[in-house]
Amino acid sequence: MTEIEWPLYEVFVRGKRGLNHVHVGSLHAADDEMAVRHARDVYTRRNEGVSIWVVRADAITASSPDEKDPLFAPAGDKVYRHPTFYSIPDDVPHM
Amino acid sequence: MTVTHEDELQEQFDATIARHDRIEPRDWMPEGYRKTLVRQIAQHAHSEIIGMQPEGNWITRAPSLRRKAILLAKVQDEAGHGLYLYSATETLGASRRELTDMLISGKQKYSSIFNYPTLSYADVGTIGWLVDGAAICNQVPLCRTSYGPYGRAMIRICKEESFHQRQGFELLMTMMRGTDEQRAMVQESVDRFWWPALMMFGPPDADSPNTAQSMAWGIKRDTNDELRQKFVDMSVPQAEVLGVTLPDPELRWNDERGHYDFGQPDWEEFAQVVRGAGPCNTQRIAHRKRAHDDGAWVREAATAFAAREI
């Protein structure tokens, strides 16, 4: 039998109001709507979410996760982007 | 590709493992690491899926609506656990259909415990207490496994297993407070499941050739015998609370070691069940295959509907 495999979807869940959607895993579904229903059953059986996003895995563009990736190099040598770069006397209030 | 390049990738991989950092799906990894993970996670996923059957057997005959709702939720969780783990396996390049085929054709294994039958309702409690208890022992250290998606799936699963174990223990406690006949049912069930539960940790370390490599890769965190000891040490005081006897004449506290001494399971029986000659191997796979085949038209219809939408 030459059955077509349902496409893979990545699932993102917002745990509660005020939080970002976070990636929780993936699942297969025939279409977008079914993916949302399956995501509810697989990833939110215990009130783990108030909102679900699903997106077809093949629609995601990703950077290479390699830590040596030159993509992230520009952030490596810019210590002045962090608050700890600046030394300020301890007795300055509210800083 | 040059040899130097491969060496450099291997070095980066080794350094990540040495830092106890996680390997993520698109990182380079040695082929052996990938293969070991696919085999282990798939086997784990299959165990969850097949594990629905022994307990599913009692859903229609649960003694009360409360027990039925609990059992339904539990069996649904097992399906969910299987799906989390299939999802983790797929990040390693395995396809879902391939995995299903490997299970149905017997090319990949599942935990031998699910090849034992559930002969009485007390077995639902014993499985929760001992089988899920053993699973928790195995799985808690896996939350820190070196492969990111596997560890994250295990964290999710461990949270839910705790409900499984507690509902089982509560069920047995309720029966132990009942009639003599009910107490006898619990004891008989514990007698049948104790040894197979000990087998869940796999063969003794001396006969487990893959353990050393798996530990070096940070996939496994403890050896089979260490986990088995931990499980026995946990279970003895729980059995005392329940008022059941564990069927091992060699079981006794060893002051010197600070652990319980215990007898060895029948490893010949274990080998037999793994080979496929356990009491329910044929039935479990036949049932899984039937469910898969019976679902073919649903998968086909949904695919056709999705195609029409576009």
| pLDDT tens for each residue of A57-86 | 999 998 876 656 677 777 778 888 888 889
Q: Say what the pLDDT of residue B3 is.
A: 60
User: What are the respective helix, strand and coil percentages of chain A, to the nearest 5?
Assistant: 30, 20, 50
| Three-state secondary-structure class, residue B213 | helix
Write out the DSSP string of B23-60.
Answer: B-TTS---HHHHHHHHHHHHHHHHHHHHTHHHHHTTGG
ipTM, 2 decimals?
Answer: 0.89
Q: Say what the pLDDT of residue B310 is.
A: 64
| Residue in A3, A45, A68 nearest the CB of B80 | A45
Q: Say what the pLDDT of residue A84 is.
A: 87
Mutate to test the interface with A, among B96, B99, B101, B158 (most CBs of A within 10 A): B96
**pTM summary value:** 0.92
**Residue A90 to residue B29: CA distance in whole angstroms:** 48
Q: Say what the pLDDT of residue A65 is.
A: 63
The DSSP bridge pattern shows strands B259-261 and A51-56 to be unpaired
Query: By CA distance, what is B28's nearest residue in A?
Result: A66
Q: Which residues of B touch A (CB under 8 A)?
A: 12, 24-28, 73, 76-77, 80, 83-84, 87-88, 90-91, 95-97, 149, 152-153, 156, 160, 296, 299-300, 302-303, 305-306, 309
Predicted confidence pLDDT, tens digits, chain B (310 residues): 556 688 899 999 999 999 999 999 989 999 999 999 999 999 999 999 999 999 999 999 999 999 999 999 999 999 999 999 999 999 999 999 999 999 999 999 999 999 999 999 999 999 999 999 999 999 999 999 999 999 999 999 999 998 999 999 999 999 999 999 999 999 999 999 999 999 999 999 999 988 999 999 999 999 999 999 999 999 999 999 999 999 999 999 999 999 999 999 999 999 999 999 999 999 999 999 999 999 999 999 999 999 986 6
pLDDT interval class at A4 (50, 70, 90): confident
* A58 close to B (CB below 8 A): no
Torsion angle, CA of B226/B228/B229/B233, rounded to 10 degrees? 140
Query: By CA distance, what is A46's nearest residue in B?
Result: B160
Torsion angle, CA of B286/B288/B293/B296, rounded to 10 degrees? 180
Phi first, then psi: what are they for A13, rounded to 5°? Answer: -125, 135
- Chain A residues with CB under 8 Å of B302 CB are 6, 30-31, 34
Q: Say what the pLDDT of residue B95 is.
A: 94
CB contact under 8 A, B309 and A31: yes
Q: State the nearest Cα–Cα gap between B26 and chain A, in angstroms.
A: 6
Other CB atoms within 10 A of residue B140 CB: 17
Domains and CATH numbers, chain A: 8-85 (3.10.20.520)
- Chain A residues with CB under 8 Å of B90 CB are 8, 26
Query: By CA distance, what is B304's nearest residue in A?
Result: A30
- Chain A residues with CB under 8 Å of B73 CB are 45
Which among B133, B103, B128 has a CA at the least distance from the CA of B43? B103
Which among B54, B57, B59, B53 has a CA at the least distance from the CA of B72? B59
Q: Say what the pLDDT of residue A2 is.
A: 60
- Chain A residues with CB under 8 Å of B88 CB are 25
| Three-state secondary-structure class, residue B126 | helix
Query: Is a pLDDT exceeding 70 seen at residue A40?
Result: yes
Task: Summarize the confidence of residues A50-59 as an average pLDDT.
Answer: 97
- Chain B residues with CB under 8 Å of A31 CB are 302, 305-306, 309
